[in-house]
Amino acid sequence: MSDGEEERGRYLAVRTGVQSMVIYRAVNLCETCADCGCGDQQEPIDLSPGGIMRLVAASGISLGDVIGGAREARKTTKAGRNGGRSDSHPANHG
């Protein structure tokens, strides 16, 4: 599939627990199977916390980089709300 090309498929999201969900996918649907969604069945996407950890690990991205990036984004957002100060310590509220 090239950039900008839309994937034609059928998706089914199923809640599997309090913090878990699985997405089942069928792709490459022809006109005949567009109604039933049979198509080419793909590996389900596991959106449980453990499933997300496996997706991150399989992508080659360091989980430390993800967590560090999230922390840095929170600091930047917090600094913006505090008038540019990145620390909410009372000594910085002069």
Q: Is residue 88 part of a domain?
A: no
What 3-state DSSP class applies to 71?
A: helix
DSSP 20-87: EEEEEEEES--TTTTTT--SEEPPPEE-SHHHHHHHHHHHT--HHHHHHHHHHHHHHHHHHHTTT-S-
Give the chain's domain count.
1
Q: Is residue 4 part of a domain?
A: no
Q: What domain range includes position 60?
A: 9-82
pTM for the complete prediction?
0.50
Q: Is residue 17 part of a domain?
A: yes
Q: Is residue 78 part of a domain?
A: yes
pLDDT digits (tens, 9 = 90+) for 21-30: 999 888 877 7
Q: Is residue 93 part of a domain?
A: no
Q: Is residue 30 part of a domain?
A: yes
What's the DSSP call for residue 6? P
**pLDDT, position 1:** 46
Q: Is residue 49 part of a domain?
A: yes
User: What are the residue ranges in the chain where pLDDT is below 70?
Assistant: 1-9, 34-35, 37, 82-94
Q: Is residue 73 part of a domain?
A: yes
